[in-house]
Amino acid sequence: MPAKFVPGNRLTLLNSGACFFPALLTAIGEARHEVHLESYIFENDNTGRAVSEALIAAAQRGVRVRLLVDGFGSPDFAKALMPALTAGGVMALIYRPEIARFKLRRHRLRRLHRKLAVIDGTIAFVGGINIIDDLNGEDLTTPRYDYAVRVEGPLLVPIERTMRRLWETVAWVTMKRRYRLERKSAPNPSPRGDQSAAFLIRDNIRHRRDIEEAYLAAIAGARRSIVIANAYFLPGRRFRRALINAAKRGVEVSIMLQGRIEYPLLHYATQALYGRLLKAGIRIFEYHYSFLHAKVAVIDAQWATVGSSNIDPFSLLLAKEANLVVADSRFADELRGSLATAMQQGAQELLTLRWQQLPWHSRLLRWASYNLVRAAIGISGYGGKHGAG
């Protein structure tokens, strides 16, 4: 489904948790009617507890507060945080609770990976930042690198509608009866700015490839530059071909990827693709300053996307995702400048000669990892002609 751009929005780019969490907590603290929050991870750390306390405080002053977290991303939520939240008046649900963690069933891979919030129908947050400390992680001494966007304007309507539908579905499954939310505050469609944007989701029903198709259309139309920053990058054939074709027609293509090893199998599988990308003239930057968690792109300084969707089989074929796509030169310039700074200060460019000098056993490790990931996708039944092949 093509992206439907909606004019009249005001968009604020938020770089990592240091910008995002103060904005989120302020919005929750000023809420008067409704707060609706979705997160893949809701951690029992300083940030998670601060957000929990803000949600409880809102509920106790009469605000209707709804919280939905993923059962796999937040396995300890039900015991660590949920009792206090529900006792404080927060309506909290878990998407696909992990009851049998060690049973391999295909539906277990379908996770809620979105990070969304809507407050009073006037402010929304869309991005890739979970409810977790920026420094929560093994050997993490510098903040996790990610983005979110504060949204005001008519785009609140599809964002709120999307969150409401999923809440009603999960409530129905959880409570074993049809559930309809009573609306305390409808989204305000009045213009709040002059920026055009589209809200895209990925699900397993009507929007299976909306985010991927938006990327592919923008890449196909690129004339000058493509900058992508992605935490987990394992694109399928169509996506790789689109990037290579863009580089061949003279577009400067730069990709910033994870430099630190977080998940070894996926890390080395991604590196198996480096040779062909470098050969096509695509520049690859590995971000080492911290863990890269961003899922963003800027094309021709006029198209940009920020969201939860990685460019890998999990995001593009399985999970529920949400991305903001922006058609605005000011926003694109700001994001591009931020990425340029990150590449300059925290990343190292991978040169073709250095890559070609890798010993044969290192290359074998990477291709073995790639083929293992491909096999896993095939076994899960989600490979298809657009898969990671």
The catalytically annotated residue of 70, 133, 146, 293 is: 293
Could you tell me where the DSSP H helices lie in the chain?
Answer: 16-29, 46-60, 77-80, 82-87, 156-175, 210-220, 237-248, 264-271, 274-279, 313, 329-346, 352-356, 360-380
User: In the annotation, is 300 catalytic?
Assistant: yes
Q: Is the dihedral of CA 66, 180, 100, 233 positive or negative?
A: negative
Residues 188/202, Cβ–Cβ less than 8 Å: no
Instruction: Tell me which of 36, 115, 267, 386 is the catalytic residue.
Output: 115
Question: For this structure, is 103 an active site residue?
Answer: no
Annotated catalytic residue within 210, 300, 312, 328: 300
- C-alpha to C-alpha distance for 333 and 101, rounded to whole angstroms: 44
Catalytic residue among 70, 120, 133, 134: 120
How far is Cα 3 from Cα 217, in angstroms, rounded to an integer? 10
Beta strand 225-230 pairing with 295-299: antiparallel
Active-site residue 248, yes or no?
no
CA-CA-CA-CA torsion sign (276, 277, 282, 284): negative
**Catalytic residue (one of 70, 134, 210, 295):** 295
113 given a catalytic annotation: yes
Quick one: CA torsion of 376, 379, 380, 383, rounded to 10 degrees?
80
Catalytic residue among 36, 113, 320, 386: 113
The residues annotated with a catalytic role in the active site are: 113, 115, 120, 293, 295, 300
